[in-house]
Every structure is written in structure tokens, then in C-alpha cells.
Structure 1
Amino acid sequence: MISNAPHKTLTVGFDLDMTLIDSRPGIKACYEALSAETGVPIDADLAVTRLGPPLDQELAHWFPADEIPAVADRYREMYPTYAIAPTPAMPGAREAVAAVRAAGGRAIVVTAKHEPNAKLHLEHLGIEPDAVIGWLWAEAKAEALKEYGASVYVGDHLGDVRGARTAGALSVAVPTGPCSADELRAEGADVVLDDLTAFPAWLASYSATARA
């Protein structure tokens, strides 16, 4: 069982997009507004099928490289107006965070998303983690996971699996985003759940095993 010995408190990290929240409706709306404002065609339906990587990677499909920094800034400015209200919590998200607290642990969110916008989503949905750390993708997520002593990281993307493993944390994956269960297992996920509704029962078993 993988653990971080210096940290006695159970700390579980969660990804945000397509793990805790279904951000597709909001992101689609924001891309459509960005397209209308810039006059650049963006296939928003396609864009939301590949959520996970940083914004700049998606914008590179639609804008010249030298325009991406300014366009990314504008997207982030528009985001609260278009993306927060339409975005629901994923099934089991609130219960998953609550299960960590019930086990005496702390829950953190580690995401590639612009941190202020990540916080807006969680506040809007009434999900209250102990910390939110943004702007970290794939292996870079290990920075925050190590800092907070997370022994488990839950995510939906292959990059989340790599982040967990780089941090020496147990990788718990849910195929609720762009990656299938088989792809997540092949990348090295230690546990694959159907979705977060299965997380509380899994955590109870994990915690009991850790205590034993």
C-alpha cells in the first residue's frame, strides 16, 4: 500500500474537470462566446471531448501560436460569465469529498484549470475542499500532492494517473472523462471505479486496510 509516512492525516487529492464537475456545458458555452468575439471558428463540441490538458493546448488547435497567450487571458476573463452556472457536479462528487472528511481526512483539489475559476466552480456547487491548487497538469500535479502529503489522487485522465504515480500516491481513476477504463489501467491506475458514487465504499475499505 502506497503512503506518505511523514503525513499521518489521510489526504486525498481530486482532479476537477470531469472528475468532480461536468464542465462540458460551461466550457462549450465559453468557447462559443470566444469564437463569436474573435471571429475564429472553434468546434466547441470537439473541444469538450478532450478536456484535461491545459487551455493553451486546446487553443493551439484554433489560433496561431503568437496569439494564444492573449486569447487564453481573454478566455479566462470570460469564463466566470459563461461557464460557472451551466456546470453541474459529477454524480457522487459531494459524497466523495464528504467521505474523506468522515474518515478524518482532508480533501484537496489539484487541477490544470486557472485556480480562481476552479474555486468559483466549487463555491457555486457548494463543494468545500480543504485546499484548491490550480495550474498543474499531469506530472506537475505531484508538486502539490507531495506538498500536502496526499496518499491518494483521484482523476479521470491519463495525466492524472501520471501525476499520482510521480507523487508516489495511489492512483484512483474514474472513466468519466475522455479516457476509458482500459486506457486508465494501461497507464498504471491502481484502482478504477465506475464513477465517484463508488468512492465512499472504496475509501472505507482502503482506510480499514491502512489501519490494519
Structure 2
Amino acid sequence: MSNKLEKVGGVITALYFLIVVVFISLRVDLSEPLTLSDLGSFLSGAFGPVAFLWLVLVFVQQCRALKVGSDALILQTEELRHSVEQQTIIAQAATEISKSAIEANEINEAEMEWRLKANFKVVKEPENYEVFPGVIGTKLTYKNEGNDASDVKIIFTPMIKGAPFFLGEIRRGESKTYPFSTTVYGPADMEIRYTGVDGEERSEFYTYTVSPAPYDVTFQRKPPVRP
């Protein structure tokens, strides 16, 4: 019970008993002895209101304590909700940061891979000719626009005469020209296989088509070149 209610209860109780004492001294004849029954009735009547008063005060105090506890529980619930929301935001931020870090790492790895690679550009001579009946010929220039490449080898599928072509080393900015002739008129594949500056073997792939009349050879690189 709070000090305020205790003080109020104490003052009321003291005043009440003072009034009871004054009343007894003025109205009760103490010359005659009281029976136990009369004494019990007197004490019950005298102390009953005091007991009821304190019962009410205790009830009021319990109601206040219950309200305080309820408010504290509501406050704790709100704090818990805010804490969960903050943890959710922190977890989402951590996930985004981790995702960004992974993406940045993948970009860095892709960029590093790109820097290690050669990058060949196949240029065909503008003129095509018939080497033998049914055999189309031209010249292909393999220009390296990427990093240095060694052990460069040109592989054709299906295989053509003289293939594979071994071009050796083609450094950055250098190019090599090699004669090309084929009897394959439909779509076919060409692979440029080489060893990079890091010692890893890599390949670039092309599709080419030969037209019999007029004679023409077209090359198309297969994507992707750069991630």
C-alpha cells in the first residue's frame, strides 16, 4: 500500500477511535459490568467500520497496482514490438549489405577474368575465291584486342583441310592472317583456343556460313564475350 493511503487510513482510524472514546466517556455508564456478549457486540460495532475502511483501502491499492502492472506490460509489449521491428530492419540491412558485397565480389571476379582474357576479332578478306571446284577460299585475320595469348589454335567443326591452325603467340594488339578454304556450305563452328597470361586455357567460339554463289563467308561470334 502506498504511503498516501496509509496516512489517510491512519488519520481516519485515529479520528474514528477518538470519536469512539469520546462517545464511550459521555454515553456509557462504566459503573455497571459488561457481559461478554455485550463486550463482543461493542467491539464488533466499534472495529467493524475500521476493518471495512482498511479493506476498501487495500482494494483501491490493489486496483492501482494492477493498473500500473497493466500499463507496464503494455509498455513492455510496445518496446518488444519496436525491438522486433528494429531487428527486422537491421536484418534486412545486413542482408542487403551481404547481397551487395556478393554482387560486388562477382563483378570484381568477372572484371578480373575479363582482364585476363584475350579478345579476338576475326576479320575476313573482302574477296572470296574458288580454290578448286566446290572449294571456297579466303583469308582470315585474327586480331587480339585483349590480353596476351599463347598457344593459339584454330579448330573447325566439322574439320576442314589443313586444320587445326596453330598460330602460336598473339600478343595484345597483334594479329595474324591465315588462309581459309572449305567445302562446307552449311553452318559450322570455329573455336579459338589459347592459353591466357595466368596459364589457364580458354576458348572463344564462332559460327560461320559459306554461300556457294556468290561466294561468301560470314562469321558470327557466339555470346557472351564479357560477363
TM-score normalised to structure 1 length: 0.24
Highest Rg: 1 or 2?
A: 2
Higher relative CO (CA 8 A, sep ≥ 6), structure 1 or 2? 1
Which has the larger share of helix? 1
